[in-house]
Amino acid sequence: MATASVADLPGGARGYLVLVALAQGEPPSQLALAKEVSLDRTVMTYLLDDLEAHDLVLRRPDPRDRRARQVVLTETGRARLGEVRRSLASAEARLLADLTDGDAEQLRALLSRVAQTAQWELVAPDEMNC
């Protein structure tokens, strides 16, 4: 269901993660964004090319370091992100329809914890066993 909700975005789920990260605040550099969403720099470059071709993001020189490029969410990108978020919320509601509100919240909390552990494992696998 989630895959279908993001299928029309360039890069699918990866494109969605990039748009979500960009919507959170200060425009990051391309390298910082790649690290934030755990993507290889080369993959990030191709993904940003696709997102930029669809007017969802733009890259501009970083005013603090003209060698770096900031990635900015466009108004079109912000609107498209809103549409995808609504589609994902609808898919989630259908998927969790048989759960009580409390059960759904508990499931979300548990999945969030699992996702945090998985993310940490990607970032610092050796530190997990310390």
Tokens standing for residue 107: 């499931």
Amino acid identity of residue 123, one-letter, is V
Exposed/middle/buried for 16, CB within 10 Å: 0-12, 13-18, 19+?
A: buried
> What pLDDT, on a 0 to 100 scale, did the predictor assign at position 80?
96
72 φ, ψ (degrees, to nearest 5) = -125, 135
User: How far apart (Å, rounded) are the C-alpha atoms in residues 68 and 66?
Assistant: 5
pTM of the predicted protein model? 0.82
Q: pLDDT tens, position by position, for the chain (130 residues)?
A: 888 889 999 999 999 999 999 999 888 999 999 999 889 999 999 999 999 999 999 999 988 888 888 999 999 999 999 999 999 999 999 999 999 999 999 999 999 999 888 877 766 656 555 5
